[in-house]
Chains A and B, each alone.
Chain A
Amino acid sequence: MDTVIDELPLYWEGFTTTLALTLLSAVIALVVGTILGAFRVSPVPTLRWFGTVYVEIVRNTPLTLVFIFFVFVAPQLGWTPSDFFAPAVVALSVYTAAFVCEAVRSGINSVGLGQAEASRAIGLTFPQTLRLVVLPQAFRTVVPPLINIFIALTKNSSVAGGFFVAELFGVARQLTNAHPADIIPVLIGIAAFYLIITIPAGILAGYVERKVAFAR
């Protein structure tokens, strides 16, 4: 227990790095994923295929392999970043974007066909249909899975610890090395920091889901 208290600054550093990794990747993944999601529901076949291929490849690739690409393979291809934080953010964003894309797509597809047909029938233009009818309904379906995706992203950021980023899991390895006698309390401390993020977010997701659930 004393070790955990003594090492609190290091824990805090790991925690903030985990948060930074997660938030940065979440924002990038949200933007890229939404664009890809738009590709997948667009009337243009080539863009649809592009989105589908991206999602299928990334979803069937382990995150560790994505990390290997950006940390070990990319330098061979001419990308030599100065630290390990940037490749970690890129790897997490590329991976998470595929899941965001799926959530966006199924959200839009969950809106009843009649909704859009009716709005076209009363003469709304395409942007109006999107803004006033489709997106507000799709948004309700998309938010709970998105929160779950970001919870998963928080946990996935631990992979960065295996690729030289000193986030929470990296700190865990460092501390268990330094304090072989206190391994269990040290790891429980690390677990607690993860749970501080994941459990409230999970409760939030459940709450939002109940709040926006409606008969369709």
Chain B
Amino acid sequence: MSSILYDAPGPRTRRRTMVWSVVGALFVLGLLYLAYRQLDSRGQWEPERWQIFTEPPLGQSASDVWRSLLIDGLGATLRAAGIAAVIALALGVLLAVLRMAGTRWVRWPVTTVIEFFRGLPVVLLMFFGVIAVGLPIFWGVVFGLVIYNSAIFAEILRAGIVSLPKGQSEASYAIGLSRWQTLFTVLLPQAIRRMLPSLVSQLVVLLKDTSLGFIIGYAELLRRLQLNTQFFGQRYWFQFFVVGAAIYIAVNFTLSRLAVYLERRGTAKAAGGVAKADDAAIGGTTATGISV
């Protein structure tokens, strides 16, 4: 393979690469072995510890544990994320439209509001929702997620609209569409399509951010992990952590794959192409905001 940094290798380089591969593999295996031994010295591999998920002690059944994690925990996480995503998307479209309004009396305040909300930590917004607005915990979590993410969605959509070829709006004005008709029937549909990967990867961020509910006391997945360790004992923290992490990674990974799939499909179909999901995921060079 050729890359920016090196040519397609010849026989000697291939041999050298081979050697370094082995060295690299030893390095990685060494790290894994160290981690394994550290865990082993703490007795984390004892079957008894992992039986917490098959035959838990204290008169609980395995289904009790799994229900508290998957139905109550993951369920609460997905519920908050789902509701917040719907409201934030709707609000994001509204903010994007207002931000591109003709009069500066609308445009400037909306721009200021978006910049403000983008610059604040989500957990602070959740805390504000609960303690200052007086919302119940669930709606406090949703409040924080909606305020922050609608600002980000608005920026993603605006970046999408700006990136469209100028001919699109010129042509729609030329055939006599009004400003709003142009926006809603010509520009927005294309912008949404073009930015779909970015929107989906922002949804992954939103899902991850529901975990901030842990801090303000919303009983989502991570809080369930903690409640379980409080009930069964701190010594089970590692086991619960592993399962919790696996659940989160599985759900997010599926969503991330969806973003990549949409990106591929979009590049094949859409004439103007589709913005890369990574741009949003790492707060790339486009004005798609920061979704770290």
Contact = CB atoms under 8 A, between A and B. Distances in A.
Contact of B127 (A60, A151, A187): A187
A45 B21 contact: yes
Contacts of B281: 59, 102
A94 interface: no
Interface string A132-155: 001000000100110011011101
Contacts of B249: 57, 60-61
Given A60-B256, A108-B4, A190 B208 contact: no
A42 B23 CA distance: 13
B5 interface: yes
Interface in A176-216: 176, 183-184, 187, 190-191, 194-195, 198-199, 202, 206, 209
A148 B13 CA distance: 38
A203 to B, nearest CB: 9
Interface string B2-40: 111111010001000100111111011000000000110
B139 interface: no
Interface string B197-214: 000000010001111101
Tell which of B128, B226, B253 has the most Cβ of chain A within 10 Å: B128
A216 to B, nearest CB: 12
Interface residues of A, number: 73
A26 interface: no
A158 interface: yes
Contacts of A45: 17, 21, 24
B5 A134 contact: yes
Given A43-B5, A141-B285, A159-B212, A50 B292 contact: no
A116 B5 contact: yes
A148 B290 contact: yes
A195 B116 contact: yes
B57 interface: no
A149 to B, nearest CB: 6
Interface in B259-292: 278, 281-285, 287, 290-292
Interface residues of B, number: 70
B292 A96 contact: yes
B248 interface: yes
Please report whether the interface of chain B is mostly helix, strand, loop or mixed according to DSSP: helix
Contact of B235 (A76, A153, A161): A76
A6 to B, nearest CB: 19
Secondary structure class of chain A's binding surface, majority of residues: helix
A59 B283 CA distance: 13
A62 interface: yes
Q: Quick one: which of A169, A191, A195 has the most chain B CB within 10 A?
A: A191
B241 A68 contact: yes
Given A68-B222, A194-B121, A149 B38 contact: no
A20 interface: no
B237 A195 contact: no
A56 B253 contact: yes
Contacts of B4: 41, 108-109, 111-113, 115-116, 134
7 contacts: A60-B252, A65-B244, A77-B38, A126-B6, A155-B119, A162-B214, A199-B115
* 7 smallest beta-carbon distances between A and B, as pairs: A162-B215, A152-B292, A148-B283, A46-B24, A158-B121, A198-B119, A62-B211
Interface of B: 2-7, 9, 13, 17, 20-25, 27-28, 38-39, 41-42, 44, 115-116, 118-124, 127-128, 131-132, 204, 208-212, 214-216, 222, 225-226, 229, 234-235, 237-238, 241, 244-245, 248-249, 252-253, 256, 278, 281-285, 287, 290-292
Interface of A: 41-47, 50, 56-57, 59-65, 68-69, 72-73, 76-78, 96, 99, 102-103, 106, 108-109, 111-113, 115-117, 120, 126, 129-130, 134, 141, 144-145, 148-149, 151-153, 155-156, 158-159, 161-163, 169, 172-173, 176, 183-184, 187, 190-191, 194-195, 198-199, 202, 206, 209
Given A43-B5, A149-B290, A173-B127, 7 more contacts: A60-B204, A62-B222, A65-B248, A172-B127, A183-B131, A187-B127, A187-B131
